[in-house]
Amino acid sequence: MRAAFSLALTLAASISTVLAAPTPDSTLHRRAADKLPFFFPESVFEAVPPSGKASLGKISEAQAVKIATDFLAAKLGIAAADFKVANSFTDASGTTHVYGAQQTNGVRIANHQAAAHVQNGEVVAFSSSFGTSQHLVKPRIPPVYAKLTVEQAIAKAVKDTGIPHFKDFAAVSEYVNTGSGIVFAHKFQLRDDAKAQWVQVWVDASTGAIVHSADFVNKASYKVVALPNGKPTDGFTLAANPEDATASPSGWSTTGTITKGNNVDASRQLSPAVYGTAVNGTFDSAWDPASEPTTDANVQASAVNLFYIGNVMHDVSYQYGFTEAAGNFQLDNFGKGGKANDAVVISVLDPWDTDNADFATPPDGQQPRMNMYRFTATTPNRDGGLENLIPIHEYTHGISNRLTGGSATGQCLETTEAGGMGEGWSDFLGLVFTAKPTDTATQARVAGDYVINDSRGIRSFPYSTDFKVNPLKFSSLRTRPEVHDAGEVWVELLWEVYWNLVTKYGFSANLYDAKSTKGNIVALQLVIGGMMAQPCNPTFLQARNAILMADQTYYGGKYKCDIWAGFAKRGAGVSATQSKVDGFDVPAECNVAPGPSPLVSA
């Protein structure tokens, strides 16, 4: 379904946001920079001039692979059987790319890599890290002989590095060129999720020394409106190495140079597409508030910020159960279940609309699309992609749509109440992700105030547990048939629950730690857990009950009365009815301190 952020410009209250000063708090991960040996012989890369006799007939990929391997064997002075193809594919131009490595005695030499590229039946270019005239020394290749077993090598490497063995990857024995000769080695992986370290090592099978390594964790920094900040006017700061190794084991950017990766593909969709770019691992940006959003520098700032927000949403929601198997958004699922090939496409400053944003969520395995538009209330215009609550709102549509009724169907938030909650969850996560430790329950939290340059924002009321700031109750649904209007009611119900939990159990700035028992973390887990349990097209009261069920399954019912009290304060208590009659009561066992009605009407 397609869900829009929408401008509901019914402004009833005039309360300004009270924003806390930006805090230096960080939810980022830092990893020990272990310096492991790495050696890779210098590669040569050569174009091969066309012979002028190229066949124009179409050849099969298998034929192209044979042409490539025959060429490489001749060029590198090895038998064709001593080049082992690792993978090949044919691109849209009809060029077949063939990649592989040297092997001897049936054993691969890990860092003797070569590739050839075939078009019209001819090699047009090749590269190699061994065997050419520029690789002066032809190293002696020792026999296949291991003094140490794989187990002994693993034990030694774990002890030397302090990183646990990663058992999902079976050990393989390979030759490796160390720069001072070729050794026979055992190859395996070490991984420490908690510290976000994941390396592949080659251990000399005679000496037990680590002789070569590959670091799978990409290091990159992003100059963005770093969460929990919400607006470009809060400033752009460098989020250093924010990628979560559990949720994103191959990192965020596939190449490390553009805003395209396993979870998110963020570009301005011109032809060719304009991606945010990185130099030396830094996705820098120089946002200029005095220029239109479409200048090169401002498009870069937007693409980088949207790539960051989309990936944070992926990584954080993963901790709460929006995983591959649950139907999340990834290009590659690493064999962990669910359907792949559905990274979120983010259209930066999409030209087709203004003053809005939207997110289309097809079933698992099909790519969702987030369109971010320009807002036109000001000169220069403003970019929705820079007010973090807006892309968080949009991404959350993806989460709620996939999780409700299962990931195979995208038709479970269609009725007014269900669609309203869809909008509500989206604003709610926007508030949760931009919450600061100094926030208070009665503070007015506003959505969309930056993009329209109006401190009242785009909803009817600011969100607050104070009835004088936000008077909405369950029964308000009767007069709020539009989904965003209905959604505001749902946010208020959730916001009361959230603050009951935060007031009692505290606040954690680290949203990645889903096991924490701090109130905001518990609230997020209950809400996401509820999405998984609720029926297709739930009513408000059914969704409330699903949250109570999630409390039972995740926490053994620990927060039951905090949840009931929150819903009951705004009329969705025990005796609330489907015809939207308020009920301000909680179950008898939660009535520890009977007092006046909790409703203080404004």
Ligand X SMILES: *[C@@H]1O[C@H](CO)[C@@H](O)[C@H](O)[C@H]1NC(C)=O
Contact positions toward Ca ion, by CB under 5 A? 338-339, 342, 364, 404-405, 409, 412
Instruction: Single out the catalytic residue among 122, 324, 387, 394.
Output: 394
Q: How far apart are CB 253 and ligand X at their closest, in Å?
A: 16
Instruction: Give min distance, CB of 276 to ligand X, in A.
Output: 15
Cβ-based nearer residue to ligand X, 378 or 577: 378
We find the least distance from the C-beta atom of residue 350 to Zn ion, in angstroms, to be: 15
Residues 488, 478: Cα–Cα separation, whole Å: 13
Which runs of consecutive H residues, i.e. helices, occur in 477-592? 483-505, 519-533, 540-555, 560-569
As measured in angstroms, the least distance from the Cβ of 383 to Zn ion is 18
Residues 344-373 that bind Zn ion (CB under 5 A): none
Instruction: Report d(CA 500, CA 547) in Å as an integer.
Output: 14
Using the rule CB under 6 A, which residue among 233, 354, 366, 453 binds ligand X? 453
Name the residue nearer to Ca ion (CB basis): 411 or 577.
411
As a 3-state breakdown, the chain gives helix, strand, coil percent values, each rounded to 5, of: 30, 20, 50
**Contact flags string 409-448 toward ligand X, x per CB under 6 A:** ----------------------------------------
Which residue, 366 or 453, is less far from ligand X as judged by CB? 453
In this structure, the number of other CB atoms found within 10 A of the CB of residue 350 comes to 21
Residue 378 binding target from Zn ion, Ca ion, ligand X, none, CB below 5 to 8 Å by type: ligand X
Residue 453 site contact among ligand X, Ca ion, Zn ion, none (CB < 5 to 8 Å, cut-off depends on kind): ligand X
Evaluate whether 345 touches 369 at the Cβ level (below 8 Å): yes
Q: Which of residues 394-423 bind Zn ion (CB under 5 A)?
A: 423
The nearer residue to ligand X, 221 or 317, going by C-beta atoms, is 221
User: CB–CB of 342/410 below 8 Å?
Assistant: no
Question: Of these partners, Ca ion, Zn ion, ligand X, none, which one is at the site of residue 262 (CB under 5 to 8 Å by kind)?
Answer: none
Q: Which is nearer to Zn ion, 230 or 338 (CB)?
A: 230
**Contact indicator for 348, 266 with CB cutoff of 8 Å:** yes
Interacting residues with ligand X between 319 and 378 (CB under 6 A): 378
* C-beta of 93 vs 280, nearer to ligand X: 280
By beta carbon distance, the residue nearest ligand X is 378
Beta carbon of residue 213, minimum distance to ligand X (angstroms, whole number): 21
Structure tokens of 91?
Answer: 């691109």
Query: At residue 160, what are phi and psi to the nearest 5 degrees?
Result: -70, -35
Whole-number Å distance between alpha carbons of 442 and 463: 9
Least separation in angstroms between residue 297's CB and Ca ion is 34
**Min separation Cβ 413 and Zn ion, Å:** 10
Torsion of CA 279, 282, 283, 286, to 10 degrees: -90
Q: What DSSP line would sit under 292-343, residue for residue?
A: -TTSHHHHHHHHHHHHHHHHHHHHHHHHTT--TTTT---S--TTSSS--S-P
Contacts of 263 (CB under 8 A, 6+ apart): 248, 252, 310, 311, 314, 315, 329, 330, 331, 343, 344
Provide CB contacts within 8 A for 261, sequence distance 6+: 248, 250, 251, 252, 253, 254, 307, 311, 331, 343
List the single partner that 364 binds among ligand X, Zn ion, Ca ion, none, CB under 5 to 8 Å by kind: Ca ion
- Give the three-state DSSP class for 223: strand
- Burial 552-563, CB ≥16 within 10 A → b, else e: eebeeeebbbbb
Residue among 271 and 280 whose Cβ is closer to ligand X: 280
Contacts of 514 (CB under 8 A, 6+ apart): 319, 320, 521, 524, 525
56 binds, options Zn ion, Ca ion, ligand X, none, Cβ within 5 to 8 A by partner type: none
Shortest spacing between CB 218 and ligand X, in angstroms: 16
279 binds ligand X (CB under 6 A): yes
Segment interacting with Zn ion (CB under 5 A) among 4-12, 49-57, 123-131, 241-249: 4-12
Q: By CB under 6 A, is residue 16 in contact with ligand X?
A: no
Residues 6+ apart with CB under 8 A from 272: none
Q: Which is nearer to Zn ion, 3 or 227 (CB)?
A: 3
Distance CA 544, CA 540 (A): 6
3 binds Zn ion, rule: CB under 5 A:
yes
CA distances, 386 to each of 235, 381, 457, 504 (Å): 11, 12, 15, 33
Which positions from 499 to 538 touch ligand X by CB under 6 A, shown as an x/- string? ----------------------------------------
Rounded CA-CA distance 42/45 in Å is 10
Partner touching 3 among Ca ion, ligand X, Zn ion, none, CB below 5 to 8 Å by kind? Zn ion
Q: Pick between residue 382 and residue 402 the one whose CB is nearest to ligand X.
A: 382
* Structure token digits, residue 144: 């296949």
Rounded to the nearest whole angstrom, what is the least distance from the CB of residue 378 to ligand X in the complex? 3
Kindly determine how many residues on this chain lie close enough to bind ligand X according to the rule CB under 6 A: 4
Closer residue to ligand X in complex, CB, 136/279: 279
> What is the smallest separation between the CB atom of 279 and ligand X, expressed in angstroms?
4
Look at residue 280 and give the partner it binds from Zn ion, Ca ion, ligand X, none, a contact being a CB closer than 5 to 8 Å depending on partner kind.
ligand X
Q: Which does 487 bind (CB under 5 to 8 A by kind): Zn ion, ligand X, Ca ion, none?
A: none
Determine whether 589 is an active site residue. no
DSSP letter (8 states) at residue 258: B
Give the binding-site size for Zn ion (rule: CB under 5 A): 4
State the pairing for strand pair 44-47/122-128.
Answer: antiparallel
Q: How many CA atoms lie within 13 A of 38 on its CB side?
A: 10
- Name the 3-class secondary structure at 396: helix
Select the binding partner of residue 279 from Zn ion, ligand X, Ca ion, none (C-beta < 5 to 8 A, by kind). Answer: ligand X
Region near Zn ion per CB under 5 A, out of 147-155, 314-322, 425-433, 594-602: 425-433
Residue 342: which of Ca ion, Zn ion, ligand X, none does it interact with, CB under 5 to 8 A by kind? Ca ion
Among positions 55, 87, 280, 479, the unique one binding ligand X when judged by CB under 6 A: 280
Q: Which residues are catalytic?
A: 394
State the residues that interact with Zn ion by CB under 5 A.
Answer: 3, 5, 423, 426
Q: Interface with ligand X by CB under 6 A: which residues? A: 279-280, 378, 453
